Structure 1
Amino acid sequence: MDIFSWLFQRAPHKSEICDICRPHFTNSGTSTPETSIPKTYDKIDARILDEAQQAACHGCWIACFAISLIQLTMETKLDARQVKELSLRMQSDKDVPDGMGKTTSKFFMGVLHLNGHRSLDSVEIFKVYQAAEESKVWFEGLFNPAKPYDLPTPLYLERAADRQPISGKTGSDKAFETAMQWLENCLRTHAKCGDDIAPPQLPTRVIDVGMDGPVRLVEPGSKRAPYVCLSHRWPTHTKILRCLQENIEALKEHIQKEALSQNFQEAISFVRRVSAWYNRMHPDREPLRYLWIDSLCIIQDSEEDWERESARMCAIYENATLTVASASGGEGCFSEAERVYQGFKVTNPARPNPTLYLRKELPHYEQPLELFTRGWVLQERLLSRRLLTFAPQELIWECLEVVDCECTVLAEGQKASSEPDAAAVNVCGPADEPEEAQYDVFSQYRNPAMYKKNNPNSHVISSPVKIAHQTSLQGRGRHREANLRYWWRRLVVMYSQLHLTVNSDIFPALSGLASQFGQATGQTDGDYVAGCWKSSLLEDLLWIVDPSEKKKEGEQPVDYRQKTWRAPSWSWASVSSQVLYRQHDPSWPEALVETYAHIISTKMVTAGANPLGRLVSASLHVRGPILVGNPNDFDKDLGVEVEYSGDTAARLTDLDGLQAFLLMAKYRDYDLEHSDTESTDWCFLHLDQADSAEFRYRRLGLLILSSEQPVATQKVPNLADERMHSCFKTRKIQDIELL
C-alpha cells in the first residue's frame, strides 16, 4: 500500500472532547479522591454510553472504556439492580503529588447503592511520548489541514500522567533489557554502589552456571570474581534440593536440572543471560558466572557449617554484584502480569503521539510482596547493593541510590521525596547554654513548620527503605550517633513484624545487619546484646508490644512471650509480636532526657560459632530505683496519667497487690499548642521476681506515667517528680540481675 492509500483509508477523525464528557475531565486535582466520592455534577450522562456518541467523540469513548474497565477490576462485582447512581471523574494529581511523592492521573467511579452505601474504584490513565515522525506529520498535513496536533490538546490527554507500560512478562526480552539498563547505569554512575572493577572474594561455595556444560557446586577457595545472589522463600509444602553432607560431592560433579525447583531453574537461566551480557559489556573484567543460593551453598545438616556461613551473610550479600529476589508469588521466578495491569491503548488514531493507556494501578505499596514478609529477607534486601525483584506484575529495581520499576512510579516517588542532608543542623543549642535557652531552641524545633528543615532524619523517613538504610549508616554531622540509634530501632520495628519458619532464627536472620551496623558505628560483636547495643541499651529496652496486635485478639488477653526460650525477657526478641518503641526524635535535646537506671554489665552465651547468632542465656546487671506500688491504686487527684503495655496475658486491671517497677528514664516536652505547658513522661520496666533470689527479675511489661505542668522556672519549681513519687509506697536504689 502506498502512502496516499494509507492516508485516505484512515478512520474518520472524531472530535476529541465535547460538552457531554468535558465535565468528567475538568475537576481540580487539589482534593484527595481516595477520601471523597464524586459529587452529583459528576453523575454519568447516559449519552456517553451510546455507541453513536462514542463514535463521534473520542473523549466519550475513553470515559465509557474507563467505566467498563473499572467494573472489570472491582473486587466486588457490581449488581446493577442495587445501584442508585453512578458518577465518574478524572482526578489528576500532576501538580499535587500523593503521600508517596508520586503523581497520578486516574478515573474514579463512585457508586451510590440503594442501601445508601457508597464505594469508590479507579483505573489509571497515562501517556507515553514517541519520537516525532516529521515526514509522516508533513504528509498528513497536506490532506488534513485541521489535524489534531494543530488543535488544543484535550483535557484528558493534557492531564494524563507520564508513565511507561510494563513488559507484561518478567522473563521476556523486553524485561531483561530494562533490567540490564538499570544494572549498567548503576555500575557506571553510582558511586555509593561501586563499579565492581575489583572483584570480591567468592563465598565458601557458589554454583557455577557457566554458559555451556553442567551446572555444579564449586568451592573456589581464595578466588575473586563477581557473583549473583538469589533471595527466595523456602517452600513449606514441597521439598527443594538442598546441600547435605551425603550429596555435596555429587553436587560438585553435576546439579541435575530436573532435581531443581522451577524457581531455581529460572534463576539459573536468568543469571546465564546476565553472565553473557556482563561479559560482553565488560570484557576486561573477571567473568561473571557464579550464583549463590543459601539452600545449595550451605550444608543444611551441618550445624557447624550453618553457624559459620550464617555469620558471613553480611559479606555475602554486600559483595554480590546483584541480588535477584524471586517474589512472583508462584512456583517460578518469572511471571506474566494480569491483563488489567498491562494496560489498554486508548489513543485517538488521528493523534497517535503520545500513546494513551488505561490500566489498573500497580500495587507498589498497597500490597506488600509476600517474599518481603519473611524475616530472613529483610537483611538480604538491605545488605545487597543492588536488588532486582521479580514481582508478580513487573520488575522492581533497588540500589543504594535509585529505586525504579517498569512503570516508573517508584522512580518518580523517589525524586519527590529526596531532601538535602540536614544532619549537621544544630537544633539543640550549644552545650553550655542554660537550660531555659535550650527550651527556646527546642520550642522552635517542635514547631511543625520548622520540623522538616531541622529534623536530621526527616529526609530518611520518607525515603525508600534501602536508601534510608544506607543514608543512616553513612550519615555525618553532630546527630550521626542519635540517627544511628534511631535507625536501629526502626529496623527492629520492621523486623519484628516479619515471619520466621524457625523461631530460633530470630538472631541469625538479623546477624548480617547487626554485623554491618556494628562496622558502621565502630562497635564490636561483644557490644551486641540480644538484639540491642550497649551504646544505647537503656533506651533499647523501652519497647512495647504493638497495641494493634492486642486489639486483633479482642477482649481475650494474649501472652506474647515465646513458649520456648530464645531471648531474655528484656529483649524485644522474647515476644512473638511486632514491637514499637516509646522513643523520641533522634535530635531530642539531651537536657530534656534524664536517665535513672544504669547498666553495670552484661552476660551473653551464644549457641555456636556466630557471635551474633542464637543465644543460650543472657542477663543484665542493672542499678536503679525500684519503686513499689500498684497503678490501679494511684491517687487520680495527683494528675498522673497511667499507660501500661504488658508482654504477657496480664492487663493493667489484672495487677493484684504490690508490684515492682524499675525507673529507667524521664522525658520532658513542650505541648505544641500551649507553649507555657511542659509534659513529663517516666518510663518503668515492670518486674517480676524470677526465683527465690531477691535480686533476680524478669520483665513483664512497660509502664509509662505522664504529667503536665507549667514550664519550670526559677519562680515556678517542677513538682512533677514529687507527684510521681507520691504514687508509690516505697522507693529504693538496688542492684538487680535482669534475666
Structure 2
Amino acid sequence: MSPCASCVSVTYSSIVPGAIFYFDADAQNRDECRFCDLVRGSYLEYLTTNLYWIYNPPKATLQKTTSRHLIKLTVDDIELVSPDEHQCNLKIAQATLQDTWYDDEVKRAFYFHSSHSQGICRLDHVPNHKENGVLSAWASLGLVRSWIEDCDMHHTNCQPIVPAVPSEALHPSTRFIDTISECLVSLDEINSVPFKFVALSYVWGVDYQLQTTSATLEDFRRKLPGLPATDDNMRLPLTIRDAMDVTLTMGHRYLWVDALCIVQDSPSDLEVQLAQMGRIYGLAALTVVARGGRTSDSGLPGMSSPRNWLSGGNINFEMNGTLSIGCWDVLDRNYEKYEEQHGVFADTACYMWRGWTFQEQILSTRTLEFNRRRMAFWCGHPEPAVECGTAPRTDMRDAHHFRSAVRKYRETDGIVPPGQPAWEYMTKDMLISRWRTIREHYSTRHFTYPGDRRKAVLGTASMLRHVIGDIDSSGHVLSQLGSELLWYKTLHPGWNESQQPAIKFSYCAVPFGTFPSWSWLSLWPLNWPSDYKPFPEVELQLHDAGASSLLEIRGRTLEINVIEEGGDGEKDKVKAYYEDGTDAKLEVYLDRSLEAQMVVTCIPIASVIHSGKSMPKWCYGMLLLQNVDESGYRRVGAAFVVEARAGEFLRRIESDEARHLVMRSVGYGSSHAAASCTRLVVVVATDSYTRLVTA
C-alpha cells in the first residue's frame, strides 16, 4: 500500500518540534494510505476508549474549519534514542492530534525509525530506555522464556499457594493434551519425570466450544480435531490452538484445558476433576490466561493473529523501505483495569467478569496474561514483567493482590516479629479482611448457571482452610460469623458509587434451596461491613459437612414490621417499625422485594463497622427472618442501627418484649439440593426458649 500524496512528503528529517501534518479523517478511506490509517485509528481509538472521555465527552458541534475532514498532527517534542548496536536513528515524537471539524484533541506518541545498512531495525526492546513503548502486533515468546528463567533462578517467593503436594496427588485419570501428538492422554500414561504441564484459563463463550464427552473421548484420545476442520461443529477453538503453540514454545509438552480434559457429560468424572481444580492450577508450571477474550475462538492476541489494537495490522508500517513508523504509547499501570471497567471489556462475557476464572487466577503459581496490547507475566515478584509500558498495579479486589497476600502470610504464618510494625506483615485478620474484599468482587462475576458459585470457589476455600484454617468449604469465615452473616446486597460492591465500572450489575439470586438463605452464595452482588465485636448473649455456630451445613443462632429477637416504599429493597426505601408502631430507625437491606407489609423476626448478632448512607460507624447488625410456615424461617435481609442512636432498640431487646430463640438452619451447598432435599422443620418447646429451624 503506497502513502497518499500528502504523506509521501513525510521524512525522518521533517519530524521536528513545531512541524504540522494533515491526515484524512474519513474512515471510509481506510486502507488507502497506511500512515493516514495509523493516525486516524490512533485518534479514534483514544477518543472512544480512554478514561479522559468519561469526564470530557467528545464534542458534537460541527466546526468545519477546513473544507475536508482532516486530523491535524502537531509535533510538540521529540526524543532521540539509539536502540541497539547498529545505532539506528529513532525519534519518539510527542504529538497533538486535533479534529479540524469538531475541535477535539488528544495527545499521542509515535516513533520514526530510519534504516541502516542491514535494513529496518526490529524494536522488540530498547536498551537503556526507561520504558519500551513500542506496541508490537506479535507476542515475543522469547521474552517470556527469559522472564521464566529469571523467576526460576532468582525469585525465592514463587512457590505454589496451594498445599505442597507432589504431582502424583493428582488423580491418575487426570487428562492432558499432548501438544506433540495432538491427542488426549491420562496421567497414568505419562512417564515424564519430573512431570510439568501448562494450564489454560479462558472464557468458553456461548457460540461454540469443543468439549470432550462420553461419545468423543475415544476419538480425542486418538486425535483431536484440527483447525480448521471440515466439520464446523468439530474443530479446535483458536484459543486452545494458540495455547498449544505457547506450551510447545515454552519447552513443555502437556496442556490442561477444562473443556477437553474433563468428560463434560460424566457426573463421576466432573466430581473427581472439579475437586482437584485448585491442585491443577497450583501445580501447573505456567497458566496461560486469555484475558483479552470473550469466547474460546478469540485466540491469544499476538499469536495466530495480530494484537487487536487499531484493528491489528496498522500498529506500525514501513514507508518506501526507508522509514518505519508506529505508535509509541507507554501504557500506564491502569491500562488493563481501565479496559475491563470502562472500556471494551466491561462486559459480563469477558474474562475478568466470568465466575469460573476467579480461582484460576488466585490458585495459579505463575500466569502469563495475553491482553489486548501486551503480555504480562505474574509470579511471586512484587510487580509483573510486561512487554511494554508500566507494570500494572493491583488493589484489594484483584486476584493477583490476594495471591500475594497469601504468600506474604505464609512467610511468617501470620506472626508479626517482636518490635516490628504490624502493617509490614500479613496477619490472619488482615488476610481475612482481604478475603472478604475479594469475595465482594467475586460476587460481581457472572455464571451461566448461578448454582455453580460454590463449585467455582471450592479450590480457593480449600487452600485457605489449609493456610489459616477457619474457613468452611463454601468460603465462610467461621471465627467471624457475626460479621460474616451480615452481608447485604448492593449494586455498588466495593466501589464508591461515583467510580462504578461501566458494566451494568443486576441482582442475581439462586432458587430457594440451592444454598442456605443466610449464605453469601445465595444473592449477588453484595458487600460486608468491616470489623466485628460479638453482640452480648448471642451464640453462633456453623458446622460444615461438605455438601450440607448447619447454622445455629442462639439469642434474643424482636418482631418488627417492614414496609417497602419502592425500589427492590434499596436502602432509604424500606422502613421498619416496632409492634406498637414506633419507628425503629433501622437501615434495612432486603434480600428480595416485598409484596406487602411484613412482620419479620429481628435478631441482633454483632457490632460491626458499617458505612451505609454516611461515613463508617460502629453499628449493631441484625438478621431479618421471615416466618414461612408454622415453625420455619428464612433470611429476608439485614439491618443496622448506629450504636450512638440505639438506645430504644437496646431497651426493647433487653425487655420482656424480646423472645429467646435457638435457630438451627440446615443448608445445602450443591445445585441439586432444591430438587433432592426438603427443608427440615423441628419445633421443641421448653420453659426458656423455642427451638426453630430456618432455611
Shorter-chain TM-score range: 0.5 to 0.7
Secondary structure of the residue aligned to 1:380 is: helix
Shift of residue 530, structure 1, vs aligned partner: 3.9
Shift of residue 405, structure 1, vs aligned partner: 6.2
Secondary structure of the residue aligned to 1:492 is: helix
Partner of 2:483: 539
Output the CA distance in 2 between the equivalents of 1:195 and 1:318.
Answer: 6
1:497 aligns with 2:497: no
Shift of residue 660, structure 1, vs aligned partner: 1.8
1:193 aligns with 2:162: no
Output the CA distance in 1 between the equivalents of 2:23 and 2:265.
Answer: 69
1:685 aligns with 2:623: yes
1:206 alignment partner, one of 169, 175, 183: 175
Shift of residue 269, structure 1, vs aligned partner: 3.7
Output the CA distance in 1 between the equivalents of 2:658 and 2:363.
Answer: 46
Partner of 1:70: 43
Q: Which amino acid aligns with 2:626?
A: D
1:393 aligns with 2:373: yes
Output the CA distance in 2 between the equivalents of 1:214 and 1:583.
Answer: 51
1:240 alignment partner, one of 194, 210, 214: 210
Partner of 1:324: 288
Shift of residue 265, structure 1, vs aligned partner: 5.1
1:568 aligns with 2:543: no
Q: Which amino acid aligns with 1:664?
A: I
Task: Give the 3 Å change call, closer, same or farther, for CA 302–386 of structure 1 in structure 2.
Answer: same
2:586 alignment partner, one of 630, 642, 656: 642
Output the CA distance in 2 between the equivalents of 1:109 and 1:128.
Answer: 17
1:663 aligns with 2:604: yes
Partner of 2:16: 16
1:595 alignment partner, one of 532, 535, 546: 535
Task: Give the 3 Å change call, closer, same or farther, for CA 602–689 of structure 1 in structure 2.
Answer: same
Partner of 1:735: 662
Output the CA distance in 2 between the equivalents of 1:255 and 1:126.
Answer: 44
Secondary structure of the residue aligned to 2:337 is: coil
Partner of 1:97: none
2:396 alignment partner, one of 427, 439, 461: 461
Ranges in structure 2 where 5+ consecutive residues have no aligned partner:
1-9, 25-34, 49-56, 78-92, 119-128, 417-425, 501-505, 562-574, 665-693
Output the CA distance in 2 between the equivalents of 1:374 and 1:324.
Answer: 16
Q: Which amino acid aligns with 1:191?
A: T
Map 1:148-159 to 2 at 5 A.
none
Map 1:331-480 to 2 at 5 A.
331-335=297-301, 336-340=306-310, 357-358=327-328, 363-368=335-340, 369=345, 370-401=350-381, 403-404=383-384, 406-411=386-391, 413-414=392-393, 461=396, 465-475=399-409, 476-477=414-415, 480=427
Task: Give the 3 Å change call, closer, same or farther, for CA 468–122 of structure 1 in structure 2.
Answer: farther
Shift of residue 626, structure 1, vs aligned partner: 0.9
Output the CA distance in 1 between the equivalents of 2:209 and 2:15.
Answer: 60
Contact 2:490 2:525 in 1 (8 A): yes
TM-score of the superposed pair, with normalisation by structure 1: 0.61
Shift of residue 256, structure 1, vs aligned partner: 3.9
2:633 alignment partner, one of 687, 697, 717: 697
Partner of 1:219: 187
Secondary structure of the residue aligned to 1:528 is: coil
Partner of 1:155: none
Partner of 2:62: 81
Shift of residue 168, structure 1, vs aligned partner: 0.7
Output the CA distance in 2 between the equivalents of 1:309 and 1:499.
Answer: 22
Q: Which amino acid aligns with 1:227?
A: F
Output the CA distance in 1 between the equivalents of 2:13 and 2:370.
Answer: 42
Output the CA distance in 2 between the equivalents of 1:121 and 1:663.
Answer: 57
Output the CA distance in 2 between the equivalents of 1:602 and 1:337.
Answer: 49
Contact 1:205 1:292 in 2 (8 A): no
Secondary structure of the residue aligned to 1:306 is: helix
Secondary structure of the residue aligned to 1:375 is: coil
CA RMSD of aligned residues (A): 5.0
Secondary structure of the residue aligned to 2:150 is: helix
Output the CA distance in 1 between the equivalents of 2:609 and 2:243.
Answer: 57
Output the CA distance in 1 between the equivalents of 2:98 and 2:605.
Answer: 53
Q: Which amino acid aligns with 1:705?
A: V
Deviations along 1:221-242, one digit per CA (max 9) or x if unpaired, are 7965000111222242334131
Q: Which amino acid aligns with 1:642?
A: L
Q: Which amino acid aligns with 1:492?
A: R
Output the CA distance in 1 between the equivalents of 2:544 and 2:477.
Answer: 13
Partner of 1:310: 274
Shift of residue 261, structure 1, vs aligned partner: 1.8
Output the CA distance in 1 between the equivalents of 2:298 and 2:558.
Answer: 58
Shift of residue 79, structure 1, vs aligned partner: 6.6
TM-score of the superposed pair, with normalisation by structure 2: 0.65
Partner of 1:624: 555
Contact 1:639 1:707 in 2 (8 A): no
Q: Which amino acid aligns with 1:188?
A: M
Contact 1:374 1:499 in 2 (8 A): yes
Shift of residue 687, structure 1, vs aligned partner: 1.0
Secondary structure of the residue aligned to 2:338 is: coil
Task: Give the 3 Å change call, closer, same or farther, for CA 702–82 of structure 1 in structure 2.
Answer: farther
Deviations along 1:224-272, one digit per CA (max 9) or x if unpaired, are 500011122224233413142x443343333343444233652454145
1:522 aligns with 2:462: no
- Higher helix fraction (1 or 2): 1
Task: Give the 3 Å change call, closer, same or farther, for CA 624–167 of structure 1 in structure 2.
Answer: same
**Identical pairs, percent:** 17
Contact 1:597 1:665 in 2 (8 A): no
Ranges in structure 1 where 5+ consecutive residues have no aligned partner:
1-9, 22-46, 52-61, 93-104, 137-159, 279-287, 418-459, 553-557, 585-589, 606-610, 709-719
Shift of residue 301, structure 1, vs aligned partner: 2.0
Contact 1:126 1:358 in 2 (8 A): yes
Deviations along 1:660-718, one digit per CA (max 9) or x if unpaired, are 21101124799xx99xxx9541111111123312xx4211111111254xxxxxxxxxx
Output the CA distance in 1 between the equivalents of 2:449 and 2:660.
Answer: 40
Output the CA distance in 2 between the equivalents of 1:628 and 1:90.
Answer: 72
Output the CA distance in 2 between the equivalents of 1:112 and 1:220.
Answer: 67
Contact 2:555 2:662 in 1 (8 A): yes
